[in-house]
Amino acid sequence: MLSGGRRPAICVTDAGFSKFAESARALGWQVFRHDDGLIEENRELVALVMLDDESAAAGARVLFQHALFAAMSADSDADLCVPATADTEQIRQLLRHSEGHWRRNLKVTQLATEVGIRRQRLRQLSDIGAQLSTHVNLDALLDTILTESRNIANCEGGSLYLADRTGEEPTLVFKLAQNDAFVVPFVEARLPMTSASIAGYVATSGEELNIADVYSLEPGLPFRFNRSFEDKMGYRTSSMLVMPMRDHRQEVVGVLQFVNRRDRSGKLVDFDQEIVEVLRALAGQAAISIQRSALVRNINELFEGFVRASVKTIEHRDPSTSGHSFRVAESTVQLIQLLPQSNNSRFRGLVLSSEALREIRYAALLHDFGKIGVREEVLLKANKLSGDRLEVLRYRFELQRERLRRRAVEKELHLLHHNAMDIEVARRRVHRDLEKQLSLLDDYWVSVVRANKPNLLEDGDFQHLIEIREERFLDLDGTITGLIDDHDLLALSVRRGSLTPTERREIESHVVHTREFLSVLPWPTELSAIPAIAGAHHERLDGSGYPDGLIGEQIPLAARVMAVCDIFDALTAMDRPYKSAISSSQAASILQDEARRGLIDQDIVDIFLEARLHESLMKVVNG
């Protein structure tokens, strides 16, 4: 605090100092006796203390920190020794010297206090900066910005607006209001970004407004203060500081409005230059944090959009898997969150942050994306032979029949031309042979059609297939092959399912494609495990899975959880070209069986079934 127009005081400890007291009074000083009750509250004014022989300076120095100490005895520990014979002029000199000393001391104290306050504000600013940089959630960030800036400036109330330029007309979104004097009945609202309102004016002009009293605004200003709210609440705003929050391109991203700044004693005070500068620095930090939060949100939305588009692309190729990825993602996230809540001690320490859950969800959504790299005829293959190949075989069989018939006719003609004996007997034999051969061909065809289905192949059918391959067939280019060729035999000989070993490997390669595709994407650190999780959904605990044959704990936990949900959904979802859907209870027994055989995690299957996740999944599947 400044000594300003204040007058100094003298403190005398003895009546013997009366001529000092008189000279001081003559100069406009106050005079206190050391035992005066008033001295306590005026001790800062004391510029000179006159000590008698008995008084020691040490105790008094603590009390009168800005004063000089004088005594008549040379033995005293005072600053100055004044002779008892000192005349009026000498005493006045002493008083002037003391006053100079006192004023300098007051100034030094005041500067030290200011330096302390600035240092504290700098510390607060850097603490706030650190706090702001940790927030990703926008609402929490805005709350911190307003609360901390009000704290630093000691303001009773404040509001925060964000600029929204995404619509046709720019608007200000009233995001937050705080006031220590009453509970603000806050509702988020939008107002046009025009200079008609105080916040709008600051947002559009980029100017700061430092208003001493909003009820005494100068006439002619484009904006006015809307007092309807205050009238309703019985509140009175006087001083107001409104400042824009600008990003690095100097674009206004929002407006901070502070009202009723108070000093330590609670008295209303203006927003001085120093606090304006502090709040300006804070507004700059706030703008950067708001923009960073918006960028993070944009990136997340971009990822979300990209993931959804990728899932749609896979499902477009194979409509029978429609919804599979979304259901697996949903159930995997639900199931993994149930693990730490279960009684199983294995999962007690499992902590799942929101980032970890997002990572798992994206991995599950994209787990089958690699199917994009599998040929469609393999991906959608319903039977062992493709439709085209079966058609070719049907023509070959028909051609073979025609050839047999033609040969029989030729034989009859030959009999007629050569007037053979017993021609009728010979013709009947030709017919009989033809019927037999045609019937055998029919049998062959039935075997081919039956073997073509993805059901279990009978041994008898397999023998038939070998015979059919041995049946000679003259191809159109003159080469002799079997009625079915080696490739047909290989495909039809698959004992279960519709895929040859090569085709099965091609389907299985989707996991490798998934992992390779996802590894190319620049995932942020918190999502960096997505390729590893998604790429391990076909690994099995005993090492029999693919692509890497990982064992037990080598498989990420999220992938083990996903495997359970993936198997269940694949079994129960709508019919696929290559297999029919089965009931929820049948699928549950298959899961139990696979867990017993050590392929998937028994504990995770138990939690899945106990939580009846399979039933809620079925409801989703059946719409």
Binding positions for Fe ion, rule: CB under 5 A: 368, 566
Expressed in percent and rounded to 5, the helix, strand and coil fractions of the chain are: 55, 10, 30
Q: Helix, strand, or coil here: 94? A: helix
Secondary structure of 495-530 in HEC code, one letter for each residue = CCCCCCHHHHHHHHCHHHHHHHHHHHCCCCHHHCCH
Helix axes 324-338, 613-621, angle to 10 degrees: 160
Closest CA to 385 of 494, 483, 472, 469: 494
Please report how the helices 354-365 and 273-317 are oriented relative to each other, as an axis angle in degrees rounded to 10. Answer: 30
Residue 318 vs 485, nearer CB to Fe ion: 318
Cα(261)–Cα(242) distance, integer angstroms: 12
Cα separation, 198 vs 218, whole angstroms: 13
CB of 305 to Fe ion, least distance (A): 22
Q: How far is the CB of 374 from Fe ion (least distance, A)?
A: 10
Which of 392-397's residues contact partners 24+ apart within 8 Å by CB, and which partners?
A: 393/448, 393/483, 393/484, 393/488, 394/445, 396/473, 396/483, 397/441, 397/444, 397/445, 397/448, 397/483
Nearer to Fe ion, 131 or 519 (CB): 519
Token reading at 519 = 């590894």
Residue 452: count of CB within 10 angstroms of its CB: 20
CB of 508 to Fe ion, least distance (A): 9
Are 175 and 137 a contacting pair, CB within 8 Å?
no
Query: Least Å distance between CB 592 and Fe ion?
Result: 20
Q: How far is the CB of 497 from Fe ion (least distance, A)?
A: 15
The smaller minimum CB distance to Fe ion, of residues 279 and 374, is found at: 374
- Alpha-carbon distance 12 to 70, whole Å? 10
Smallest gap, in angstroms, from Cβ of residue 324 to Fe ion?
6
* DSSP state letter for 175: E
**How many C-beta atoms surround the C-beta of residue 105 within 10 A?**
17
Query: In Å, what is the CA distance from 612 to each residue of 481, 609, 616?
Result: 57, 5, 7
Q: How far is the CB of 320 from Fe ion (least distance, A)?
A: 12
Q: Which is nearer to Fe ion, 43 or 327 (CB)?
A: 327
Q: Which is nearer to Fe ion, 438 or 512 (CB)?
A: 512
Q: SS3 of 75, please? A: coil
Q: How far is the CB of 394 from Fe ion (least distance, A)?
A: 34
Decide whether 316 or 431 has the Cβ nearer to Fe ion.
316
CB nearer to Fe ion: give 71 or 564. 564
Residue 41's SS3 state is: coil
For the bound state, the minimum distance from the C-beta of residue 511 to Fe ion, rounded and expressed in Å, comes to 6
Beta carbon nearer to Fe ion, 69 or 517: 517
**Shortest approach of Fe ion to residue 457 CB, angstroms?**
25
| DSSP, res 65 | T
Integer Cα distance of 613 and 587 in angstroms: 12
Is residue 473 within 8 Å of 400, Cβ to Cβ?
yes
Two tokens, residue 347: 């999962």
Choice between 437 and 519, CB closer to Fe ion? 519
Nearest to 150 by CA among 176, 123, 178, 172: 178
* Least distance to Fe ion, CB of residue 322, Å: 12
Closer to Fe ion by Cβ: residue 34 or 538: 538
Nearer residue to Fe ion within complex by CB, 244 or 535: 535
